[in-house]
């Protein structure tokens, strides 16, 4: 039976007029899992309710599939018309499995990439999954090749190269199919890559537009009088004036996170990453428009509004986390909201039409690098975080070790996506409870070589339960934590909320957990073969609901295990912080699918 969910229809009622019909039809059928984020609004919510708080404790493993690849497995499978599409980290293999024939492999795509690309991938060889539209499966490979595959046969319909790995340009993200375009980003902020979002024609692979994160207005697709920041026009050459000399050309602002889309406004939303280098003394100024939420017209790429969350970033608080689009009442008024749980530890709620800042509050009480975000529109500090001098790595200067900064560079939350339930009105957020020491040093730029300029070490936040993570319920209209579940390690898995009043997530030790959406009570857990950094998904087949999760430890938090690193300062500081992870799990690559037995 076709089930149309609140999350799918709330924002997308007029979508067939504006958005890609094939994607909208697939998203509207909650028996399928048609897009990595669940829907264009990035809610990761499913209307399926066969698995609920009363029976979830009876879950059992229904079947498994080995991907044949080790290292970090992020993202999730897709399910379209009885076929499951499973991806892997590098070398980015794709499998099409016939769910009506015991998971028989219908086809496999095994790209032949230059293995040298692994050496310029920052934080493991992860990939966050494939996308579907118009009978095609779209893969963005590590080497930045975008491939369109026939969904039934696996035949390559077209391919195009989006970047140059010899300059440090790589890819870890999924793509967003919207209207007649495929939107793709770029990774490589730790190599001085200049970020951009690019639209390609879905049928031909021809480039339609490209919007850079930094640089001249015309290259950023900015109208300085029409593009706003906190309600005011940004003015001419806003980016150029915020960098010293030509530093913007190697200024980072990469776009390796998630993308959301509002078809009624015809706007795509995404975030830009850290400025390069990590040594803030080498790049004075606000470094616009790194660390920024961007809203752009899908047809033209022209920017409507920006909001820079962390001007002149000093801690590598990449701003690429997902933007979740919901309609909720705030201050007595229904608003079109955008909710962003940023790496910097602040949870932001904005009006997604205008970019007005409505809420900015800490979602981890350990956050100490800033006291607050100024909310007074009349203040010259409006929208800016108020930095605590003790934790400023720029003020303390090069070759000075700034200690006790919370959160660590991997943020109070990294890219692992949160979920939203329209039944509870709450956001379910995987978080890190980790702090760091940060020592900048002077570094020179050479194309294709690391351009970091800082040494880091990470450790659990003080005065905590001793763990490195929490899974929280967040009220974005008030900026309040409703409840918080401590975890031994950071929660590096994407969450799933369902109409069965159950929320699912995975842990770095390898558990799939199911909790009550209202109370956070643990209802079920199962230890999978490897640590979970994938995103939980669900689908229905022949009247039965299933839950799926990729396990395979890795990513930034698991880079020590994934790459065999032992020096505590390796992995950009993460190896030492997560050294104990090897006592609980080992490398793997497996899909585990669960169901309640008949």
Instruction: Tokens for 93, please give them.
Output: 């293999």
User: Distance of CA 383 to CAs 253, 328, 361, Å?
Assistant: 19, 22, 12
| Neighbour order of strands in the sheet with 454-460 | 402-405, 434-440, 454-460
Q: How far apart are CA 4 and CA 88, in angstroms?
A: 30
User: Distance of CA 339 to CAs 12, 218, 497, Å?
Assistant: 17, 29, 16
pTM of the model: 0.95
Output DSSP code: residue 305.
E
| Residue ranges for the chain with pLDDT beneath 70 | 1-19, 396-397, 464, 466
Please answer whether residues 237 and 281 qualify as being in contact, where contact means their C-beta atoms are separated by less than 8 angstroms: no
Q: How far apart are CA 198 and CA 259, in angstroms?
A: 12
Q: How far apart are CA 123 and CA 126, in angstroms?
A: 8
Which residues fall within 8 angstroms of residue 71, CB to CB, at 6 or more apart? 89, 90, 124, 125, 126, 552, 554, 562, 563, 587, 589
What local confidence, expressed as pLDDT, does residue 11 receive? 42
| Neighbour order of strands in the sheet with 181-184 | 176-178, 181-184, 196-201, 207-212
User: Distance of CA 42 to CAs 11, 207, 427, Å?
Assistant: 11, 25, 11
Q: Is 214 annotated as a binding residue?
A: no
Q: Is 74 annotated as a binding residue?
A: yes
- Phi-psi category of 585—alpha, beta or left, where left has phi over 0 and alpha has psi -120 to 50? beta
What does the pLDDT look like over 190-208, one tens digit per residue? 999 999 999 999 999 999 9
Tell me whether residue 1 is in a domain. no
Instruction: Tokens for 153, please give them.
Output: 């046969």
Q: By residue range, what is the domain housing residue 297?
A: 6-595
Q: Is 190 annotated as a binding residue?
A: yes
What local confidence, expressed as pLDDT, does residue 471 receive? 97
What does the pLDDT look like over 508-553, one tens digit per residue? 999 999 999 999 999 999 999 999 999 999 999 999 999 999 999 9
Tell me whether residue 530 is in a domain. yes
What local confidence, expressed as pLDDT, does residue 579 receive? 87
Instruction: Tokens for 267, please give them.
Output: 């706007």
SS3 170: strand
Tell me whether residue 431 is in a domain. yes
Name the E strands within 277-332: 292-297, 303-308, 323-330
Tell me whether residue 528 is in a domain. yes
What local confidence, expressed as pLDDT, does residue 551 receive? 97
- Considering 217, 316, 318, 364, which one is annotated as catalytic? 316
What local confidence, expressed as pLDDT, does residue 576 receive? 83
Per the annotation, the verdict on 316 as an active-site residue is yes
* Domain count of the fold of the chain: 1
| Neighbour order of strands in the sheet with 357-362 | 323-330, 333-341, 346-351, 357-362
What local confidence, expressed as pLDDT, does residue 15 receive? 37
SS3 241: helix
DSSP element (H, E) containing 54? none
CA angle at 248 for the pair 244 and 252, rounded to the nearest 5°: 130
Q: What is the CATH number of the domain that holds 475?
A: 2.140.10.10
Q: Is 316 annotated as a binding residue?
A: yes
Instruction: Tokens for 15, please give them.
Output: 């979508």
Tell me whether residue 264 is in a domain. yes
Q: Rounded to a whole number, what is the largest CA-CA distance in the chain?
A: 67
Please answer whether residues 322 and 37 qualify as being in contact, where contact means their C-beta atoms are separated by less than 8 angstroms: yes
What local confidence, expressed as pLDDT, does residue 396 receive? 66
> What is the Cα gyration radius of the chain?
22
The mean pLDDT of the chain is 94
What does the pLDDT look like over 214-266, one tens digit per residue? 999 999 999 999 999 999 999 999 999 999 999 999 999 999 999 999 999 99
Tell me whether residue 476 is in a domain. yes
Beta partners for residue 359, in sequence order: 349
Q: Is 227 annotated as a binding residue?
A: no
Burial code (b: 16+ CB inside 10 Å, e: under 16) for 476-499 equals bbebebbebbebbbbbbbbbbbbb
In the chain, % helix, strand, coil (3-state, to 5) comes to: 10, 35, 50
User: Distance of CA 78 to CAs 32, 95, 155, 313, 497, Å?
Assistant: 8, 11, 18, 36, 17
What local confidence, expressed as pLDDT, does residue 195 receive? 98
């Amino acid at each position: 039976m076709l089930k149309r969910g609140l999350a799918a229809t709330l924002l997308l009622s007029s979508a067939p007029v504006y958005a890609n019909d094939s994607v909208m039809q697939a998203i509207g059928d909650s028996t399928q899992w048609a897009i990595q984020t669940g829907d264009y609004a990035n809610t990761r919510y499913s209307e399926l309710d066969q698995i609920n708080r009363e029976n979830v404790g009876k879950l059992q493993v229904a079947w498994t599939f080995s991907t044949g690849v080790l290292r970090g497995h992020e993202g999730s499978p897709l399910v379209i018309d009885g076929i499951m599409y499973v991806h892997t980290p590098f070398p980015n293999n794709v499998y099409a499995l016939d769910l009506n024939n015991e998971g028989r492999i219908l086809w496999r795509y095994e790209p032949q990439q230059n293995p040298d690309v692994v050496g310029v991938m920052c934080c493991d060889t992860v990939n966050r999954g494939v996308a579907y539209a118009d009978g095609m499966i779209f893969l963005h490979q590590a080497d930045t090749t975008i491939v369109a595959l026939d969904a039934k046969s696996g035949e390559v319909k077209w391919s195009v190269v989006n970047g140059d790995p010899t300059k440090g340009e790589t890819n870890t993200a999924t793509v967003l199919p919207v209207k007649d375009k495929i939107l793709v980003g770029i990774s490589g902020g730790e190599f001085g890559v200049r970020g951009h979002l690019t639209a390609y024609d879905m049928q031909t692979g021809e480039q339609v537009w490209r919007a850079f994160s930094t640089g001249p207005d015309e290259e950023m697709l900015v109208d300085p009088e029409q593009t706003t920041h906190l309600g005011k026009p940004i003015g001419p050459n806003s980016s150029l004036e915020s960098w010293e000399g030509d530093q913007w050309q190697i200024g980072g602002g990469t776009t390796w996170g998630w993308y959301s889309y509002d078809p009624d406004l015809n706007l795509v939303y995404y975030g830009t990453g850290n400025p390069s280098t990590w040594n803030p003394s080498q790049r004075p100024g606000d470094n616009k428009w790194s660390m920024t939420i961007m809203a752009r017209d899908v047809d033209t790429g022209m920017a409507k509004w920006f909001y820079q969350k962390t001007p002149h970033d000093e801690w590598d608080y990449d701003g690429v986390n997902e933007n979740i689009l919901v309609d909720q009442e705030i201050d007595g008024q229904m608003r079109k909201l955008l909710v962003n749980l940023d790496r910097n530890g602040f949870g932001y709620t904005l009006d997604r039409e205008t970019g007005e800042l409505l809420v900015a509050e800490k979602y981890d009480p350990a956050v100490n690098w800033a006291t607050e975000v100024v909310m007074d529109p009349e203040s010259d500090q409006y929208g800016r975080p108020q930095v605590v001098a003790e934790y400023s790595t720029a003020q303390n200067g090069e070759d000075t070790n700034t200690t006790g900064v919370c959160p660590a560079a991997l943020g109070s939350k990294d890219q692992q996506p949160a979920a939203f339930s329209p039944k509870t009105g709450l956001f379910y957020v995987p978080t890190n409870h980790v702090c760091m020491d940060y020592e900048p040093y002077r570094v020179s730029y050479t194309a294709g070589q690391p351009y970091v300029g800082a040494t880091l070490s990470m450790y659990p936040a003080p005065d905590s339960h001793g763990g490195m993570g929490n899974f929280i319920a967040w009220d974005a209209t008030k900026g309040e934590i409703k409840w918080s579940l401590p975890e031994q390690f950071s929660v590096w898995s994407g969450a799933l909320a369902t109409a069965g009043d159950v929320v699912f997530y995975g842990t770095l030790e390898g558990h799939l957990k199911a909790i009550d959406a209202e109370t956070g009570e643990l209802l079920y857990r199962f230890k999978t073969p490897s640590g979970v950094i994938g995103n939980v998904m669900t689908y229905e087949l022949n009247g039965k609901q299933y839950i799926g999760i990729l396990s395979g430890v890795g990513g930034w938090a698991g880079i020590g295990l994934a790459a065999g690193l032992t020096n505590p300062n390796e992995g950009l500081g993460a190896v030492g912080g997560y050294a104990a992870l090897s006592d609980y799990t080992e490398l793997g690559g497996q899909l585990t699918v669960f169901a309640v037995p008949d």
